[in-house]
Each structure stands twice: as structure tokens, then as C-alpha cells.
Amino acid sequence: MALAIETRLVTAAELLARSDEFGRCELIAGEVVTMAPAGARHAALCSSLNYALQAWCRAGGGGRVLESSGGFLLSTEPDTVRAPDVAWLSPRRAAEASTVGYPVGAPDLVVEVVSPSDSAPAVFDKASMWLAHGAQVVWVVWPAQQTVWNWSRDAGRVVLRNDATLTSPLLPGFALPLAELFEE
């Protein structure tokens, strides 16, 4: 006779309250999904993108940049909390970065840096989820191919190669040459 194992869904409030217990994770439809620490290349790319966005904000672009430890509540009952590698909140939403809980909805700009263990369909699904929950732009960075998907709800997905410059109408004046981003 097999034993039935009962699993209980976790809420966003429980995830936040028990973050030390859960470690680095996301909450997908109430289920805790642990995430392995990223490698050095991944961390360096996140840091570079974070720095470039922070510099743009301070130079007059405005808004607020958050790193990967910050989650966003995308849906409830059951709860889904996702954490992008880098996020930007517009000046209109910047105050949400100071809230104790998770901001509701996706950030205006999401950056996801693809890890070697990520599959293309899973990355596509995650980017689609961000857009479906309110993100205006999602940048998916593919380190091995030195490309970026610049994906917006209005213009669709554009693949940028190493010789291109990363820009967005969402961030007037922001320009990051991909050759600079991907330099070793």
C-alpha cells in the first residue's frame, strides 16, 4: 500500500516570512521552486546591467533598479512570486521598491540572464509570463551566444547580436553596446 503524501501550497506572505528557511527560490502557483546559485559569468552580467541601469537612473532617467533578491507577486490563489535577475520600476512605480512585501505585478523592465541549465522553452515561458503580468520590456541575455532578446509588448521580440546596442523607448537615452556588456 502506497502512502499518500499531502503537500500544502505556500502563500506569498509565508514565503516572505520564512525566506531564511526557503533560501533562494521562487513561488510558482503556490509551490516553492528552489534556485541554485548562479555562476560567476551570470553574476558579472547581472552586475553590469544593474550598474548601467543605475547610472542611467541617476543621470536623470529616474525610477528604481532592483537586483535578483527582490520578488514580484504576479498572481494569487495560488500565489506566484518571481524574481528577475534585474528589474527597473518607472518613476511612477518607484515607491513600490520601498514596500515591505512584494510589489504586485511585473516590473516595467525585466532582465533575465540565461544560465547554462536553462532551456530555451523555459526561458521563453518566463519572459512571456513577465509580459503577460504587466512588464513593458523584457531583456533576455544569452551569454553563450552573446545575444539579447529585446522583447516588448508593443514591438515583439528582436534579437540583438554582439555588434548591436541595447536600447528601449521605455528608457530614453539609455544605450549599452553589447560588445561592452559581453567583453571578458
CATH number at residue 108: 3.90.1570.10
178 in any annotated domain: yes
More confident residue, 64 or 22: 64
In degrees to the nearest 10, what's the CA dihedral of 41, 45, 48, 49?
-170
Q: How far apart are CA 112 and CA 105, in angstroms?
A: 16
List the domain range (segments joined by +) for residue 168. Answer: 38-182
In the block, cell 516572505 appears at 16
In a domain, 132, yes or no: yes
In a domain, residue 159? The reply is yes
Most confident of 14-23, 35-44, 62-71, 125-134: 125-134
Nearest C-alpha neighbor of 35 from the set 103, 110, 90, 113: 113
Who wins on pLDDT, 34 or 6? 34
Nearest of 88, 80, 93 to residue 111 by alpha carbon: 88
Strand 147-152 to 156-160 pairing: antiparallel
Q: Which of 118, 128, 139 is nearest to 52 (CA)?
A: 139
Answer yes or no: is 147 within a domain: yes
In a domain, 10, yes or no: no
In a domain, 1, yes or no: no
Question: In the prediction, which pLDDT does 175 show?
Answer: 97
Calpha distance 59→175 (Å, rounded)? 13
Q: How confident is the model at residue 2 (pLDDT cuts 50, 70, 90)?
A: low
SS3 163: coil
Collect all residues with Cβ–Cβ distance below 8 Å to 13 and sequence separation of at least 6. Answer: 101
Q: Is residue 115 part of a domain?
A: yes
pLDDT of residue 89: 95
Number of domains in the chain: 1
pLDDT over 90 percentage in the chain: 73
Quick one: cell of 9? 501550497
Contact 150, 140 (CB under 8 A): no
4 pLDDT exceeds 60?
Answer: no
Higher-confidence residue of 14 and 19: namely 14
In a domain, 75, yes or no: yes
| pLDDT score of 6 more than 60 | no
Is the pLDDT at 176 greater than 70, yes or no? yes
Residues 118, 140: Cα–Cα separation, whole Å: 12
Residue 135 scores a pLDDT above 60: yes
| Per-residue pLDDT, 67 | 84
The yes-or-no verdict on residue 15 having pLDDT over 80 is: yes
pLDDT > 90? residue 154:
no
Task: Work out the mean pLDDT of the chain and round it to a whole number.
Answer: 91
Find the mean pLDDT for residues 88-106: 89
